[in-house]
Amino acid sequence: MKKTIWSQALVWLMIVSLIVSWSTPAFADSVSLKKENELGKRFHLKVAASGLLFDDPIADKYYKQITDRIMRGAGLAPDQYNFYIIDSAGINAFAVPGGYIYMHTETIISLENEGQLASILGHEVAHITSRHFARRVEKNSAMSLAYVAGMLVGVLVASQGGNGAAIGPAIMSGTGGAAISEMLANSREDEAEADAKGKKYLTKAGYDPRDMYGAFRIMADKTFQVSPKGAPSYLSTHPALTSRLATSFDDKEKSKPASTDARYLAFRDRVLALTGEDRRVQTTFNNRLKRNKNDHSALHGLGLLDARMQRLSKANEKMNQALALAPNNKEYLADLGDLARRRNKPEEARAYYQKAGQDNRQAVLGLARAYELLGDKKQAGSFYDKAVNMDKTPYLEALELAGRFFGQNGQRGKGHYYLARYFNDKGDLKKAIFHYKEAAKQPDAGQYKKIAEREAEILDEIQKTDK
C-alpha cells in the first residue's frame, strides 16, 4: 500500500515550493487572504492528483468530529478549513495557506488518544490563523516563479515514476535548497506562537491541554524510528521540536500519564488495517489477541486486512468473530455488508447494511449498490443521492459510482455533475472540466446547471494558469 519514498515526499516538496514562491517581490506586497485561498486550492489539486489521500467514510466521520471541535475552539466555523489524511509512512502533519491541513496516517497510528491528535490539529490551525506564511514573505530571498513552477513539474513527474530518483534530489539542491533552509530557520518563533494558540484552541474545545506535550513527545521519538529514509518528518517541517519539549511546557503540562480511549483506538486500528503493511498489521493485532482473545477490534482489523488482500473467506470468518463479540457495532456491520457484496451475495449485503443504519455513510452507499445489483433502480438512485449528499466531506467512491449510475439510467445532467465533482476531488482538472461542461448542457441539468458552469470557469482558469 505504501508509495515509494519520492511519492511519500511529494507533498512536502510541493509545500516547500509554495512557501518559497511567496518570497518573490511580486507576492511581497500583495499577499491577501484571496491569494492564500487560491494558492491553497492549487496546492490541494496537486495533492489530490498524487493519489495519496486516504478516503474511508467511517474513519473520515470520526476525524471530522475532532476537526469540528478544534475549529469551534478556535472560534471558526467547522467547514471554514479543509482537513485531509494522507496515506504515508512518514510521521508528519502540516498546514498550507487557504485553510488546508494534512495529517499522515502514520501519525494517527502513532498517537495514543484523541486529545493528542486534537493537539496537533490545533497547532496546525494556529499556523493558518496566524498567517505565518504571509508574514514570513518579506524575511526571505527572492526566487522566480518560473523556477518554482519547474519544481512543481519535477515533483509531479517524480510522483508518476519516470526519472523521479534523479529529479527529487535536484529539486532540493542549489538556490531552492538554500531558500528552503532559510525558511525553516526562521520558523521557530512561528512554532512557539502556534504552540501557545494551539493550547488555547485545545482548551476551548474541551480537551486536556496536557495532551499537546504527549503528542509532541511521541512525534519526536517516533520520527527517528518510523519515518523512511529520505522522507519528510515532523522534525523537518517543525524545527526545534525537541528543544520546545524542554522549554515550552511547564512541569504541570508534562504530568499527564499516558492514556487511551476506545473510540480513538478503534479509529487508529482502522487506519492501520487499511493502510499498514501486511506483516505489521498481522503482528500488531495478533500480539494483542495473545494478550486478550476477546479483543474484537484486533479481530476486525485482521479481517479488514484479509479483505484488502482479497482473502475474502478468511475476512468473513474474522469479521463475524468480531461481530459476535460486539453485536451492535455498526461499523462492523457495514464492513460485513461490503464483504457480502464482494462475495456476490447482494441479499445478505442488504441485510447487513440495513442493520448498520442510515446514519452510516458506508452502509448507505452499500444499500445503493445492493439495490442496483438486485435490479431496484429507484431505491438504488435514492441511496446514491443520499450517500453523496449526507455529509459535507467528499466521498470519492460514492461520487464516482453515483455519477456512472445516473449517467447510465437517463439522468445525464446529474451523472455528469457527480463525475465532475469526483474528478475535481481527484485533482484531474481536464476530466472535471469536461464533465462540468457536459452537465451544464444536458436538458435535465436543472439545479446543477449554474453550479456546473461556474465550476467549469474556475477550473478552466486554474488550468490555463498552470500551463
Residues of each domain in the chain carrying CATH 1.25.40? 394-467
As a whole number, mean pLDDT of residues 286-312 equals 98
pLDDT of residue 136: 57
pLDDT of residue 147: 40
Over the chain, what is the mean pLDDT? 81
For residues 187-224, one letter each, b for 16 or more C-beta atoms within 10 angstroms of the residue's C-beta and e for the rest, the string is: beebbebbbebbbebbebbebbbbbbbbbbbbbbebbe
pLDDT of residue 195: 86
CA proximity to 16, closest of 81, 94, 86, 131:
94
Q: What is the pLDDT of residues 364-403, one digit of tens each?
A: 999 999 999 999 999 999 999 999 999 878 899 999 999 9
Contact 192, 248 (CB under 8 A): yes
Q: What is the pLDDT of residues 87-101, one digit of tens each?
A: 988 788 888 778 999
Q: What is the pLDDT of residues 111-161, one digit of tens each?
A: 999 999 999 999 999 988 987 765 654 454 444 333 443 344 344 334 334
What is the pTM for the complete model shown? 0.84
Cell of 169: 534530489
Q: How far apart are CA 288 and CA 294, in angstroms?
A: 9
> Does 314 score more than 70 pLDDT?
yes
* Alpha carbon distance, N-terminus to C-terminus of the chain: 32
Cell of 289: 489477541
> Does 454 score more than 70 pLDDT?
yes
List the beta bridge partners of residue 104. 86
> Does 298 score more than 90 pLDDT?
yes
As a whole number, mean pLDDT of residues 285-310 equals 98
> Does 328 score more than 50 pLDDT?
yes
pLDDT of residue 46: 79
Amino acid, single-letter form, for residue 148: V
Are β-strands 93-96 and 100-104 bridged in parallel, bridged antiparallel, or unpaired?
antiparallel
CATH topology of domain 394-467: 1.25.40
Q: How far apart are CA 285 and CA 280, in angstroms?
A: 9
CA proximity to 252, closest of 210, 288, 310, 291:
210
pLDDT of residue 430: 94
What share of the chain has pLDDT > 70, as a percent? 74
Q: What is the DSSP letter of 130?
A: T
